[in-house]
Each structure stands twice: as C-alpha cells, then as structure tokens.
Chains A and B, each alone.
Chain A
C-alpha cells in the first residue's frame, strides 16, 4: 500500500544511518526478562567489537535483574530477525552482520525469577 497524497510524496527516513556520524543503532532484548520494560537501544560504530558493546553497554543495563548473575553466557540461544544466530564477540558489529537498527534477542533457559516461564 502507498500513502494517498495530492502530489509527489517522498521524504527521507528520519533515523537513516547517515544521521549517526559513522555510528549506528542496535536493539537488544533479553527474552522473558521484563524488569527492564523494553528492549535496550544500543549505540556504536560498525567497526566496534560486538563484545565491547555487550560488556560496556548491555551488561550494566541488565545487571539489576536478579537472574543476571546466574546467566551461563555459553548456553545462551541467540536470534536475529527471528532466525537463529551465532554472534562472535571478537568480531565487529559489521562482521557479525548487524545492520543499522537491527535487533538481536537472547534466551537464557531456566531463568525466570520475575516473569513466569513462557506459556505459563
């Protein structure tokens, strides 16, 4: 479908990657963990190591959740746009295939202190 207009209607997107001076946005969601109410918006450069973004931005935000200390980081199930995905923390954002405004999600099976497990 297209917008109905009385003339040409074409405008650039407001959050296009060019507006981020060589950086980009990412979103990260810890599934079944809603103490922090919404997925986090992260900010970094495409050539930044993904591991650095996780350590410096994501982990401090997740830290208040009582399940945080129980996470087995090797047992996490990662997805990106609904598909299984294996991140490489030692590679860059770009090398991990994370484009501007991409969201990745991760499941930590068995941890459900504040939100009942899925389907309950």
Chain B
C-alpha cells in the first residue's frame, strides 16, 4: 500500500530560490550574446549576476496574492466614491487642476515605466533582476490603470479629463514628462535603471508622490488618496530595487563608477526639471496646502539626498553635478512655472487662476526672500487686468529648452532678474537650453537630442504650419477645458451641484 506523502512546506528562502533563481538555465544551442544583445554596449561590466540581491524575496505566487487583495480593497473604495458623489467632497474645483495635470502627465509615465521595465527585464542576463523588473513592470501598469479608473469618475462631471492620452502625446507641456520617459526608454537597460529605478524612484519619488497623495488627502479627494495607499507598498519595493541596482553596478566593477556617475548627474537634473511642475502644483494648485515646495525639498531632497550620497561616497560616487543650481532654484521655480501656465492658459487642458489674498499671504510667508520682491508685481499686474475686465495672456510662442522641453523661463542661478540663456552650435545648427544642466546633458549626447520633438517649432512645420485652430483640434483641446478658473464651467457646475447636495 502506498503511503500518502504530504508535500513538504517550503521555507521562504527555499521557495525564493526555486521560484526565481532556479528558473534560469544555461543556454545550449544559442550563445549568451545572441540572447542578451543589449547588455554590454553601455560599458557596464558584470562579472557575476548571482550577486544581485533581492531584499524582498518576493515570488510570483505571493505577489499575485498581495496585489489581488489590494485591488479588491481599492475598487471597493473607488465604487463607493463614485456612488456617493465623492467628487463634491473636494475642497473646491480648483483642486481638479492638480489631478488633471497628474492624469495627463504622470499616469502615462506609469505606463511608460511599465513598458520600460518589461523591456529591461528581458534584456538583463541575470534571473534576479529579470524577476524584479517583471514585477515592477506589472506594478506600473496597475498604477496606470488604477489612476485612470480613479479619475474616470471626475471625467463624468468636469472638463479636461476625457482625452488625456492624446494630450499626453501632443499638448505642449506634456512633452516635458513624455520626453523624459522617451529619453530613458531609448537608453540602454542599465541607464534606464539608473534613470527610472534609481534617480526617479529612489531619489525623487517622495517629492512627487508625497505631495500629491497628501494633497489629495488634505483636499478631500478620496479617489486619488486610495490610489496612493494602494501603490505605497509597491513604491517601497521600487525604491529598494533602484538602490539595489546602483549598488550592484558599483560593486561589480570599478570601471562602472564613472559611467554611473554620469547617469546620476544627468537624471538627477532631468528629474528636478520635471518636478518643477510639481512645485507649481504644491505652491499654487491646492486649495488647502500641505507644505511649500521649499519645505518639501528640504525634507525629501536635502535631508534624504544628503544621507543617500553620504552612503554612496564609499563607492566614489559624488552628489549630482548640478545640485547647487537646483538648491538655488527652489525658491523661484514654482512662481516662474505658475506665471507661465497662467499666461498660456488658453492652451492648457486645465484651468489656472491668480492667487487670492490669502494665497498671497501664504506665499509671502513661505518665500520671504523671493515672492514679494520678484513675483508679486507680476501677479498684481494679472489681478489688475482681471479687475479691469481684461485678462493677462501671452499669445507669444515661447522658446523651448532642447532637453527638458520646458519654455526657457528659468532665471540665472545667481540673478533672478535675468532669464538664463544657453546655446550650443552643433553641426551647423543652433540649439537652446534653459540652464547649464540641460546644456550639459545635450553636449554629452548631441546626436540624441537633435531629434527632440519640440512642440513650438513643430507647430510651425507641416502639417499645422502655425494654424492654432487646427492645433487645438489636433491636441484635442476644447475651449471649455482651458483658461481662467473663475469663468470656467467646472467652477459653475461644482458650486451648483454642491449647493444642491447640501440643500437635499
């Protein structure tokens, strides 16, 4: 008679070995170079892929279980939010501008990140990073989907949400996040990991998600808040992956150090330029503010960054090249960006407004050395125009930075009265930049950035040839989604519906 064997329960370590490392095999009829053609050309030397550590030791079966559970909870809350008119719980409809920007700029970046991690998971030659990248890839598409679902409820009631995908591809300010991810996606697998896994997820992610998610909580946006909670444990895993990947590269070969340093310099700067949009969101777009951009930078940029780079110093890694320029810009960028967004508001798929008297008091207090002196006069001009029945608009098309693709509206690091002008001649053509940081990035790889699709120069080319009405249609921008908040349909509807609910 057979004795029925009970299967042995595997311990975590054994299970991890079987379900990740043990999934690899030695190729017999193809050589490694054919299978992993992209793993060498960046110059990163890897001697032993098995040295890759995965501190989470997560296996696919456990991963599916955790994620499924989070999804169930998430959708229960999202459904309740939709059924209970959750959109009327936000502080006021000005808040929607912040999440429109998020949906147009950040959610598509989650999707880009999904594609990028799927790609590098295939391109790396070690099973440890392959599995870790695969999980992050699935996380990222989940983030994109849950964000789109969370915001789809707002789309039923407000303008500016409905065609975020076209707007991501075509509208001018979204070429800032889009080109950032395109740059990373068209780099090699190791640079991609330093760009997105390390610089973005590890060094800068807190500056993006903490402000947005606490902003959502402060302003009564349950949908976005819930998304934030659902993504939190994923983010912790991504940050660890980002840190692990850099340590792995640095420990594998000393020749990797200068290459990694170059990527840190580049991606830290690019990330900080991208985050100037978040700076404007924090200082101007939240009806109830969490903290100023300056305060967020001091905590998540300076404190965390110092600790990190102290830790990496033992490998010979130095703090990012343009760190000082970022520090000098912190008290300025949110004002510069918001003044820009306001004057070009006829061409944005969100509303903007002039700061109220209490906004102005708050800005003075948070930016005692810069706001009143340099930026308040321009806001006062805008307010005076409005009071006189006019409107402050800039119908000029701005010069854009060839690298970060923002309008070149930033000032010299040491002179806030003067715009920063940088230009480079390359193969008989002129290229313009917003800063030393962006110019440096260009000069490292000019062949790459000459190809940049810059929305303003593109507008003058075939097929639009400067036709603004045709442009509006092409970017799927309806006039109701753009312009001044005070006269918007969103404001009128929000106030009307909220009144109805409170009198019911």
Contact = CB atoms under 8 A, between A and B. Distances in A.
Interface of A: 1-6, 9-17, 19-21, 23, 25, 27, 29, 31-32, 34-41, 43, 61, 64, 66, 81, 99-103, 105, 113-120
B453 A39 contact: no
A39 B408 contact: yes
Nearest to B402: A15
Contact of B430 (A29, A40, A100, A105): A100
Nearest to A31: B418
Nearest to B408: A38
Given A32-B418, A120-B417, A101 B43 contact: no
A4 B43 contact: yes
Given A31-B418, A116-B417, A37 B336 contact: yes
A120 B416 CA distance: 9
A41 B445 contact: no
Interface string B368-404: 0000011001100100000000001011111100000
Q: Which of A14, A40, A103 has the most CB of B within 10 A?
A: A14
Given A3-B447, A115-B374, A102 B430 contact: yes
A57 B164 CA distance: 32
Contact of B457 (A25, A34, A36): A25
19 contacts: A4-B43, A4-B188, A6-B37, A13-B429, A14-B453, A15-B458, A21-B462, A21-B465, A31-B418, A37-B409, A38-B398, A39-B419, A41-B398, A64-B392, A100-B429, A103-B432, A115-B417, A116-B417, A118-B417
A45 to B, nearest CB: 12
A118 to B, nearest CB: 5
Contacts of B417: 32, 115-120
Q: Which of B396, B411, B454 has the most CB of A within 10 A?
A: B396
Nearest to A65: B381
Contacts of A13: 427, 429, 450-451
Interface string B342-369: 0110000000000000000000000000
B444 interface: yes
A40 B421 CA distance: 13
A35 B381 contact: yes
A29 B419 contact: yes
B429 A101 contact: yes
B203 interface: no
Interface of B: 37-38, 41-43, 188, 336, 339-340, 343-344, 373-374, 377-378, 381, 392, 394-399, 407-409, 411, 415, 417-419, 421, 423, 427, 429-432, 443-448, 450-454, 456-458, 460-462, 465-466
Given A14-B450, A25-B460, A35-B381, A3 B423 contact: no
A38 B418 CA distance: 11
A3 B447 CA distance: 7
Contacts of B454: 14-15
A40 B399 contact: yes
Given A15-B457, A31-B418, A37-B343, A116 B429 contact: no
A116 B429 CA distance: 34
B266 to A, nearest CB: 11
Nearest to B382: A35
Contacts of B421: 29, 39, 103, 105
Contacts of A12: 450-451
Contacts of B432: 27, 101, 103
Contacts of B343: 36-37
Given A4-B188, A37-B336, A11 B451 contact: yes
Contact of B447 (A2, A35, A40, A105): A2
Contacts of A20: 460-461
Contacts of A34: 339, 378, 409, 411, 419
Contact of A37 (B407, B418, B462): B407
B396 A36 contact: yes
A118 B415 contact: yes
Contacts of B41: 4-6
B429 A39 contact: no
B381 A40 contact: no
A1 B445 CA distance: 6
B399 A43 contact: no
Given A11-B450, A38-B419, A100-B429, 20 more contacts: A1-B444, A1-B445, A4-B41, A5-B41, A6-B37, A6-B38, A12-B451, A13-B429, A14-B451, A15-B461, A29-B421, A34-B409, A36-B396, A37-B344, A37-B394, A38-B340, A38-B409, A40-B397, A40-B399, A103-B421
A77 to B, nearest CB: 14
A63 to B, nearest CB: 10
B418 A43 contact: no
A40 B340 CA distance: 13
A116 B454 CA distance: 31
Contacts of B399: 27, 29, 38-41, 103
Contacts of A40: 396-399
Closest CB pairs A-B (n = 4) = A38-B398, A6-B41, A13-B450, A38-B407
Nearest to A115: B417
